[in-house]
Amino acid sequence: EPEVTQTPSHQVTQMGQEVILRCVPISNHLYFYWYRQILGQKVEFLVSFYNNEISEKSEIFDDQFSVERPDGSNFTLKIRSTKLEDSAMYFCASSEALGLNNEQFFGPGTRLTVL
Amino acid sequence: SQQGEEDPQALSIQEGENATMNCSYKTSINNLQWYRQNSGRGLVHLILIRSNEREKHSGRLRVTLDTSKKSSSLLITASRAADTASYFCATPGGTSYGKLTFGQGTILTVHP
Protein backbone atom coordinates (compact mmCIF):
# COMPACT_ATOMS: atom_id res chain seq x y z
CA GLU A 1 0.00 0.00 0.00
CA PRO A 2 1.36 3.46 -0.90
CA GLU A 3 2.58 5.50 2.03
CA VAL A 4 4.10 8.84 2.87
CA THR A 5 7.74 8.65 3.82
CA GLN A 6 9.85 11.14 5.74
CA THR A 7 13.54 11.61 6.32
CA PRO A 8 15.34 11.82 8.60
CA SER A 9 13.47 10.09 11.41
CA HIS A 10 15.48 12.09 13.96
CA GLN A 11 17.31 15.37 13.56
CA VAL A 12 19.33 17.07 16.26
CA THR A 13 20.52 20.59 15.58
CA GLN A 14 21.94 23.61 17.33
CA MET A 15 19.83 26.68 17.85
CA GLY A 16 20.20 29.06 14.94
CA GLN A 17 21.01 26.36 12.41
CA GLU A 18 18.98 25.65 9.31
CA VAL A 19 17.21 22.33 8.93
CA ILE A 20 15.46 20.74 6.00
CA LEU A 21 12.91 18.04 6.60
CA ARG A 22 12.06 15.85 3.66
CA CYS A 23 8.92 14.06 2.65
CA VAL A 24 7.84 11.92 -0.26
CA PRO A 25 4.04 12.11 -0.54
CA ILE A 26 1.90 9.40 -2.08
CA SER A 27 2.52 9.56 -5.80
CA ASN A 28 -0.94 10.40 -7.15
CA HIS A 29 -1.74 12.92 -4.42
CA LEU A 30 -1.96 16.59 -5.27
CA TYR A 31 -2.23 18.27 -1.86
CA PHE A 32 0.56 18.34 0.65
CA TYR A 33 0.73 19.42 4.25
CA TRP A 34 3.05 19.88 7.19
CA TYR A 35 1.94 19.53 10.79
CA ARG A 36 3.85 19.52 14.01
CA GLN A 37 3.29 18.05 17.46
CA ILE A 38 5.16 19.41 20.43
CA LEU A 39 5.62 16.70 23.04
CA GLY A 40 2.40 16.14 24.96
CA GLN A 41 0.43 18.62 22.87
CA LYS A 42 -2.03 18.55 19.99
CA VAL A 43 -1.09 18.04 16.39
CA GLU A 44 -1.00 21.52 14.84
CA PHE A 45 -1.39 22.50 11.21
CA LEU A 46 1.50 24.44 9.70
CA VAL A 47 0.92 24.74 5.97
CA SER A 48 -0.86 23.30 2.97
CA PHE A 49 0.55 23.27 -0.54
CA TYR A 50 -1.04 22.73 -3.91
CA ASN A 51 -0.03 23.42 -7.47
CA ASN A 52 3.42 24.58 -6.38
CA GLU A 53 2.22 27.24 -4.02
CA ILE A 54 1.08 27.62 -0.45
CA SER A 55 -2.70 27.31 -0.12
CA GLU A 56 -2.91 28.16 3.54
CA LYS A 57 -0.60 28.62 6.48
CA SER A 58 -1.02 28.99 10.21
CA GLU A 59 0.34 31.72 12.43
CA ILE A 60 3.10 29.32 13.45
CA PHE A 61 4.39 29.28 9.88
CA ASP A 62 6.31 32.55 10.00
CA ASP A 63 9.17 33.85 7.84
CA GLN A 64 11.52 31.28 9.33
CA PHE A 65 9.60 28.50 7.62
CA SER A 66 9.41 27.68 3.94
CA VAL A 67 8.19 24.78 1.85
CA GLU A 68 9.23 23.58 -1.53
CA ARG A 69 8.52 20.85 -4.01
CA PRO A 70 11.90 20.75 -5.72
CA ASP A 71 11.04 17.88 -8.03
CA GLY A 72 8.13 15.60 -8.85
CA SER A 73 8.38 13.55 -5.71
CA ASN A 74 9.89 15.43 -2.77
CA PHE A 75 8.22 17.97 -0.52
CA THR A 76 10.44 19.79 1.95
CA LEU A 77 10.04 21.96 5.02
CA LYS A 78 12.90 24.32 5.79
CA ILE A 79 13.41 26.11 9.06
CA ARG A 80 15.99 28.82 8.49
CA SER A 81 17.16 29.58 11.99
CA THR A 82 15.91 27.06 14.48
CA LYS A 83 14.76 28.01 17.96
CA LEU A 84 14.45 25.85 21.05
CA GLU A 85 10.67 25.96 20.72
CA ASP A 86 10.85 24.40 17.26
CA SER A 87 11.61 21.08 18.93
CA ALA A 88 8.72 18.84 17.97
CA MET A 89 7.62 15.96 15.77
CA TYR A 90 7.00 17.19 12.26
CA PHE A 91 4.54 15.27 10.14
CA CYS A 92 4.09 15.48 6.43
CA ALA A 93 0.75 14.48 4.94
CA SER A 94 -0.79 14.24 1.53
CA SER A 95 -4.26 13.88 0.12
CA GLU A 96 -5.79 13.19 -3.23
CA ALA A 97 -8.49 15.81 -2.88
CA LEU A 98 -9.98 18.48 -0.70
CA GLY A 99 -13.42 18.82 0.76
CA LEU A 100 -15.62 15.81 1.27
CA ASN A 101 -12.92 13.33 0.33
CA ASN A 102 -10.06 14.95 2.15
CA GLU A 103 -8.49 11.86 3.69
CA GLN A 104 -5.03 12.94 4.69
CA PHE A 105 -2.35 10.29 4.98
CA PHE A 106 0.52 11.01 7.31
CA GLY A 107 4.15 10.04 7.28
CA PRO A 108 5.91 8.58 10.33
CA GLY A 109 7.30 11.97 11.31
CA THR A 110 10.68 13.57 11.92
CA ARG A 111 11.60 14.22 15.51
CA LEU A 112 13.46 17.55 15.59
CA THR A 113 15.47 18.40 18.66
CA VAL A 114 16.95 21.88 18.90
CA LEU A 115 19.71 22.28 21.48
CA SER B 1 -13.02 25.79 23.41
CA GLN B 2 -11.06 24.10 20.68
CA GLN B 3 -12.45 22.37 17.61
CA GLY B 4 -12.34 18.61 18.02
CA GLU B 5 -12.20 17.80 21.70
CA GLU B 6 -12.15 14.17 22.71
CA ASP B 7 -13.30 12.57 25.89
CA PRO B 8 -12.36 10.79 27.96
CA GLN B 9 -8.75 11.94 28.02
CA ALA B 10 -7.70 8.46 29.08
CA LEU B 11 -9.42 5.10 28.96
CA SER B 12 -8.17 1.85 30.44
CA ILE B 13 -9.91 -1.43 29.63
CA GLN B 14 -9.33 -5.16 29.47
CA GLU B 15 -8.77 -7.05 26.27
CA GLY B 16 -12.06 -8.12 24.75
CA GLU B 17 -13.99 -5.14 26.07
CA ASN B 18 -15.35 -2.38 23.89
CA ALA B 19 -13.85 1.09 23.94
CA THR B 20 -15.86 4.21 23.17
CA MET B 21 -14.30 7.60 22.57
CA ASN B 22 -16.19 10.79 21.91
CA CYS B 23 -15.36 13.93 20.02
CA SER B 24 -17.10 17.28 20.00
CA TYR B 25 -16.53 20.10 17.58
CA LYS B 26 -17.67 23.68 17.22
CA THR B 27 -18.08 24.70 13.60
CA SER B 28 -19.85 23.17 10.62
CA ILE B 29 -17.93 20.41 8.94
CA ASN B 30 -18.09 18.44 5.73
CA ASN B 31 -16.34 15.43 7.21
CA LEU B 32 -14.71 14.19 10.37
CA GLN B 33 -11.74 11.87 10.54
CA TRP B 34 -10.35 9.60 13.21
CA TYR B 35 -6.65 8.84 13.55
CA ARG B 36 -4.57 6.56 15.74
CA GLN B 37 -1.10 7.33 17.01
CA ASN B 38 1.07 4.77 18.68
CA SER B 39 3.46 6.24 21.21
CA GLY B 40 6.01 8.47 19.49
CA ARG B 41 4.94 7.35 16.03
CA GLY B 42 3.04 8.75 13.08
CA LEU B 43 -0.67 9.20 12.64
CA VAL B 44 -2.60 6.39 11.04
CA HIS B 45 -5.83 7.30 9.27
CA LEU B 46 -8.65 5.10 10.55
CA ILE B 47 -11.87 6.33 9.05
CA LEU B 48 -13.55 9.35 7.48
CA ILE B 49 -17.24 10.01 7.94
CA ARG B 50 -18.98 12.58 5.80
CA SER B 51 -21.44 15.11 7.16
CA ASN B 52 -24.33 13.38 5.39
CA GLU B 53 -23.50 10.03 7.00
CA ARG B 54 -24.65 8.99 10.44
CA GLU B 55 -22.68 5.80 10.92
CA LYS B 56 -19.78 4.04 9.30
CA HIS B 57 -18.06 0.75 9.95
CA SER B 58 -14.57 -0.50 9.21
CA GLY B 59 -13.65 -3.86 10.68
CA ARG B 60 -13.92 -3.55 14.47
CA LEU B 61 -14.40 0.21 14.23
CA ARG B 62 -17.74 1.92 14.28
CA VAL B 63 -17.99 5.68 13.95
CA THR B 64 -21.10 7.75 14.43
CA LEU B 65 -21.68 11.37 13.62
CA ASP B 66 -24.42 13.61 14.98
CA THR B 67 -24.19 16.96 13.24
CA SER B 68 -27.05 18.39 15.29
CA LYS B 69 -25.02 17.84 18.46
CA LYS B 70 -21.69 18.44 16.71
CA SER B 71 -20.33 15.21 18.08
CA SER B 72 -18.85 11.94 16.91
CA SER B 73 -17.98 8.70 18.61
CA LEU B 74 -15.49 5.97 17.83
CA LEU B 75 -16.26 2.50 19.08
CA ILE B 76 -13.64 -0.22 19.01
CA THR B 77 -15.21 -3.60 19.60
CA ALA B 78 -13.46 -6.62 21.10
CA SER B 79 -10.37 -4.59 21.87
CA ARG B 80 -6.87 -6.04 21.72
CA ALA B 81 -3.64 -5.06 23.44
CA ALA B 82 -2.42 -3.85 20.03
CA ASP B 83 -5.18 -1.22 20.05
CA THR B 84 -3.29 0.61 22.81
CA ALA B 85 -2.64 4.05 21.34
CA SER B 86 -3.87 7.63 21.29
CA TYR B 87 -6.94 8.32 19.21
CA PHE B 88 -7.69 11.69 17.68
CA CYS B 89 -10.57 13.17 15.83
CA ALA B 90 -9.82 15.79 13.22
CA THR B 91 -12.01 18.18 11.33
CA PRO B 92 -11.18 20.05 8.14
CA GLY B 93 -11.41 23.79 8.05
CA GLY B 94 -9.60 26.84 6.94
CA THR B 95 -10.02 28.66 3.69
CA SER B 96 -9.51 25.60 1.53
CA TYR B 97 -10.80 22.87 3.86
CA GLY B 98 -7.37 21.32 3.71
CA LYS B 99 -6.38 22.26 7.23
CA LEU B 100 -7.15 19.55 9.77
CA THR B 101 -7.74 20.62 13.34
CA PHE B 102 -6.99 17.90 15.86
CA GLY B 103 -8.28 17.38 19.33
CA GLN B 104 -6.16 16.57 22.33
CA GLY B 105 -6.85 12.88 21.90
CA THR B 106 -7.90 9.95 24.04
CA ILE B 107 -5.17 7.69 25.38
CA LEU B 108 -6.48 4.13 25.23
CA THR B 109 -4.76 1.39 27.19
CA VAL B 110 -5.89 -2.18 26.62
CA HIS B 111 -4.63 -4.60 29.21
CA PRO B 112 -4.01 -8.19 28.10
CA distance A7 to A24: 9
pLDDT digits (tens, 9 = 90+) for B22-51: 999 988 888 899 999 988 788 999 999 999
In whole angstroms, how far apart are CA A71 and each of A23, A24, A76? 12, 10, 10
3-state secondary structure of A48: strand
Length of chain A counted residue by residue: 115
Are residues B96 and A43, on separate chains, in Cβ contact within 8 Å?
no
B13 pLDDT exceeds 80?
yes
**Per-residue confidence (pLDDT) for residue A106, from 0 to 100:** 94
Q: How many H-runs (helices) and E-runs (strands) does chain A carry? A: 0, 11
**Per-residue confidence (pLDDT) for residue B2, from 0 to 100:** 40
pLDDT digits (tens, 9 = 90+) for B49-98: 999 999 999 999 999 999 999 999 999 999 999 999 999 999 887 766 68
Residue pLDDT tens, chain A, 115 long? 789 999 999 999 999 999 999 999 999 899 999 999 998 888 999 999 998 999 999 999 999 999 999 887 899 999 999 999 999 999 999 998 776 677 899 999 999 999 9
Whether A85 and chain B come into contact, CB under 8 Å, resolves to no
Q: Which of chain B's residues have a Cβ under 8 Å away from the Cβ of A103?
A: 33, 45, 48
In whole angstroms, how far apart are CA B67 and each of B24, B25, B44? 10, 9, 24
Are residues B44 and A106, on separate chains, in Cβ contact within 8 Å?
yes
Q: Distance (Å) from the C-alpha of residue A74 to the closest C-alpha of chain B? A: 19
**Per-residue confidence (pLDDT) for residue B1, from 0 to 100:** 34
Contacts 24+ apart (CB under 8 A), B48-52: B48/A101, B48/A102, B48/A103, B50/A100, B51/A100
**Per-residue confidence (pLDDT) for residue A71, from 0 to 100:** 87
Are residues A44 and B99, on separate chains, in Cβ contact within 8 Å?
no
- CA torsion sign, A31 to A105 to B30 to A67? negative
CA distance A91 to A43: 9
Q: Which of chain B's residues have a Cβ under 8 Å away from the Cβ of A48?
A: 94, 96, 98-99
Q: Distance (Å) from the C-alpha of residue A90 to the closest C-alpha of chain B? A: 9
